[in-house]
Structure 1
Amino acid sequence: MDLVLRNVRVWDDKPLMDIAIKDGRIAAIEEGIDAAATEAIDAEGRAVIPGLVEPHMHLEKAFLHRRMPPVLGTLDEAIRVTGILKGKQERNDVLARSRQVLDMAVANGTTALRAHPDVDLIQGLIGVETLLELQGEYKDLLDIQIVAFPQEGLLKSPGTLELMEQSMKMGADVVGGCPYNELSWEDTMRHVDMVFETAQKHDAPIDMHADFSDEAKDQRFAATTYIAKKTIETGYHGRVSLGHVTSLGSLEPEQLDPIIALLKEADISMVTLPATDLYLGGRNDTKNRRRGLTPVRSLYEAGVNVAYSSNNIRNAFTPFGKADMLVIGNMLAHAISFGTPVHQAAILDMGTINAARSIGIGDNYGIAVGRQADLVILDTYQVADALLDMPARSWVIKRGRITVVTEHKCTIHRNGCCGHDHAHDHGSQPEKHNNA
């Protein structure tokens, strides 16, 4: 064996297990595996989870929060400020800021990430070009998928479709969309059609920012039904993900239920982005401010695949963040009142199993024999405590290779005397790669 993890807590209701890894895959999960291995980790009872997955990130916009600090904190201001800064993008700066995010994500246990670089006439293809470079640079640390994302619209911004085509030919993996950023409902529908046509041409999955609004009165912000029907019509079941989709949260059950039924039939994944949506949503409410989230509970209860992600890191859209999926999961659990043991487990699934499914890697993912060995050993002793403790990532393993080891020993002094040791995160670093 290449690596054996000994005494790990895979399931809270079963004994500690050993996990044997060979050629980047899980070869066995058993008690007391008696096999020689090149490397071994004694987890001493710590919990192990599948590698965390970020299905929706904007790397080239990260760490812009001090370049042109917002004053109002509104969505309109964020769009304006980011538009100005996008026009000043420089390759080396984009690479440096993107690496900051990726290093954070790796250290926090993320093993796969889907990035949504803007493809438009403002910043051209710099987001795609830099991510293609980073794909290779980080290939031993995490898998990166690239979405060609037309933030500024397609019909509203002539020439963008040609840039999308160029992005796909260069090596982008996913066709993106932003249908609400058009000038009419007719153009919104045509935007969706163009996204599907492009995806079918390249046999690529689809990932759209479906809407970003507190209400669904404007049809442009109510395109979910049209997208779901288009998915069914084209046979794209299981290959479409939708981000934000906040307007659904404003609907009464009799309006929402038929849409959810369509989403389930189309097997569309819904990716909620609580750090951004909670921050920007409900800004015009003067009382009982809306939480600005897609209706996660209703989607979950209906069996729709729901995932979550960080979205932006430290810019006008999201002034916080450190690319830590457990932090985002904890935030989401609070926002949607998911505190029971069953609900906490569901939130953890949304950041692992569901997120993997939303980016199309579900068949090769998870803690099971034969699956790719992307694992995180947490500095806590029950899987159920992952969202409670948000513990240090003691070891991160990518394709059977140890990529992160976290030192986390802290001594507490009580009344001038040295107390016992407690585990706390005192910093983690991914293994050095060629540009670290």
Structure 2
Amino acid sequence: MSALPRIIERLTHARLADGRTVDVRLAGPVVAEVVPAGTLAAGDPDTTLELDGFLLLPAPAEPHAHLDKALSWDAIRPPMGDLRLAIDSWHAHSARMTVDDIATRARTQALTMLAHGTTAIRSHVDLLHGDDPLRGVRALVQVRDELRGLLDLELVTLGGYLTPVEDMEAALAAGVELVGGAPHLAPDPVAELHRLLAVARRHGVGVDVHTDESLDCDVTLDVLARAVLDWEVPVSAGHCVRLGTLDGPRRDQVIADVLAADVGIIANPITNLYLQGWESDVATPRGLTAVRALVDAGVRFAAGADNVRDPFNPLGRSDALETAMLLVVAGHLSVDEAYAAVSTGARDVMGLPAAGVEVGARAELLAVRGDDLVGVVATATADRYVLHRGRLVALSETHTQVAAPALLAPSYPEAR
């Protein structure tokens, strides 16, 4: 087999989530033809993928990552705990980080996500304390350039209420695309939210804000929605945990504001389930936004893994199928809805062109060994092909041996 990446022109005998088995012709970065299996004429083996036994899906997109934090758990060894404890652990460690350290971890994490099928990542990047606040920015811009052609990487500023506006603007000048922050952590969350929005408005860029990341904080999601009602740039809100704890009428009022402003909502189940509820030892509340209500209302909805093996989440498999599984068991979405949230829904919230197995769609595709979507999300088999812009950029193949049961195996003398 040719080295990666390589151009793919035909995908044959692929099963789709709706049960059809098809051949697919690609024309560079887009899908040109989808026909019943066996219809396309044989092509060059080096540009053809035979996908008999595989489910072909739109590739996942990660709408909320922290590549600058990823894989730092082993170096920090933080105590397990809630959001404030995680923030304190991270701040203590980040003062010692170098650009090379950040870039190495971020690169490793991004490539692991790519191997599992994610071909687009939006990562927040901390504006750090100290004399060189843009260390993380420079590291992630470097990684973005290195991985260009393998995956799409978009960057968002992440500063606190003490972060100078000048640092945010310097990050934008250095190549960061969106303005973000965490207004709910400020003494005056509404004032901090408007400060961030003013920076974005002044520079004509989109916004992706950490929002209401607590079970009992003041609600600012509706303030955000009303403030950007007439904006033409993309706006999204991550976490929105407080929304999941509101009573029905108040929740529905906030969701109506979100829908009117077309704000995309990004749930982060694994990290929020880990960080929230530590103070309750009976009937522990679940840290998750109002997933079911948001989807039912027609809000543009996505879900991400957020933190992976850092003080904010010690675990994580860097696999969108894990996020989809958690949306089913913790958020009560159907499997189809959950996979949409980590693929087509994520791309929509991120403002990316539509992708999938449809004529004219971008050839951002994931083939996973399996017969149907429920089985694929349940087992998350490692056998996968990943296509980005019509090129094969990752493949994984596994080999398994299991001893035969005693009734099927040859008989051997008992060990003594």
Say whether the fold is shared (TM-score over 0.5). Answer: yes
Q: How does 1:30-429 map to 2 (within 5 A)?
A: 30-31=35-36, 32-34=39-41, 36-37=43-44, 39-122=47-130, 124-150=133-159, 152-153=160-161, 156-157=162-163, 160-184=164-188, 188-216=189-217, 219=218, 222-232=219-229, 235-236=230-231, 239-338=234-333, 343-361=334-352, 363-415=353-405
Given that 2:347 and 2:354 are in contact with CA atoms closer than 8 Å, whether structure 1 keeps it comes out as no
CA shift digits 1:236-276 (9 cap, x unpaired): 26711111111111110011111011111111111111111
- Give the whole-Å Cα distance in 2 for the aligned partners of 1:337 and 1:380: 23
Quick check: 2:81–2:278 contact (8 Å CA) kept in 1?
no
Q: Which is further off, 62-71 or 95-104?
A: 62-71
TM-score, normalized by length of structure 1? Answer: 0.87
- In structure 2, C-alpha distance between the alignment counterparts of 1:277 and 1:284, rounded to whole Å: 14
Consecutive unaligned residues of structure 2, counting only runs of 5 or more, are 1-6, 410-416
Give the SS at the match of 1:104: helix
Distance 1:2 1:335, change over 3 A: closer
CA distance in 1 between counterparts of 2:408 and 2:392 reads 33
- 2:381 counterpart letter in structure 1: P
In 2, Cα distance between the equivalents of 1:365 and 1:274?
Answer: 24
1:360-388 per-residue CA deviation (whole Å, 9 max, x = no partner) reads: 10x34232212221111001122343212
Q: Which amino acid in the other structure matches residue 104 of structure 2?
A: A
Deviates more, 1:347-356 or 1:88-97: 88-97
- The equivalent residue for 2:414 is none
- Please report how far the alpha carbon of residue 59 of structure 1 lies from its aligned counterpart in structure 2 after TM superposition: 1.0
Contact map agreement 2:208 2:235 (CA 8 A) in 1? yes
Distance 1:287 1:369, change over 3 A: same
> Aligned partners of 2:220 and 2:8: how far apart in 1?
49
Give the corresponding residue for 2:25.
Answer: 20
In structure 2, distance between residues paired with 1:289 and 1:2: 49
The CA deviation at 1:305 is 1.6
Tell me how far apart the structure 1 counterparts of residues 195 and 148 of structure 2 sit (CA, whole Å).
31
Contact 2:53 2:369 in 1 (8 A): no
Aligned length: 399
| Post-superposition offset of 1:297 | 0.8
Q: Is the CA contact (8 Å cut-off) linking 1:176 and 1:208 kept in structure 2?
A: yes
- Aligned-CA RMSD value: 1.9
Alpha-carbon spacing, 1:418–1:128, altered in 2? closer, same or farther (3 Å) = farther
Summarize the Cα distance change of 1:130–1:250 in structure 2 as closer, same or farther, 3 Å threshold. same
Over 3 Å counting, the alpha-carbon distance change for 1:72 and 1:21 in structure 2 is closer
Structure 1 residue 227, shift from structure 2 partner: 0.2
Instruction: For 1:297, give the aligned amino acid.
Output: R
Q: Percent identity?
A: 27
Q: Residue type of the partner of 1:174?
A: L
Instruction: Using the TM superposition, give the Cα deviation of residue 121 of structure 1 relative to its aligned residue in structure 2, in angstroms.
Output: 3.1
Q: Does the 8 Å CA contact 1:412/1:418 hold for their aligned counterparts? A: no
Residue in structure 1 matched with residue 412 of structure 2 by the alignment: none
Q: Is the 8 A contact 1:145 1:172 kept in 2?
A: yes
Query: What's the offset of the Cα at 1:304?
Result: 1.0
3-state SS in 1 of match to 2:278? coil
| Preserved contact between residue 237 and residue 268 of structure 1 (Cα < 8 Å) | no
Shift of 1:2: 4.7
**Structure 1 regions of 5+ residues with no counterpart?**
420-436
Q: Within 2, Cα distance between the matches of 1:11 and 1:180?
A: 39
User: Which whole-Å CA distance do the structure 1 matches of 2:340 and 2:78 have between them?
Assistant: 35
The answer as to whether partners of 1:107 and 1:393 remain within 8 angstroms in 2 is no
Question: Separation in 2 of the partners of 1:132 and 1:289?
Answer: 40
**TM-score, normalised via structure 2 length:** 0.91
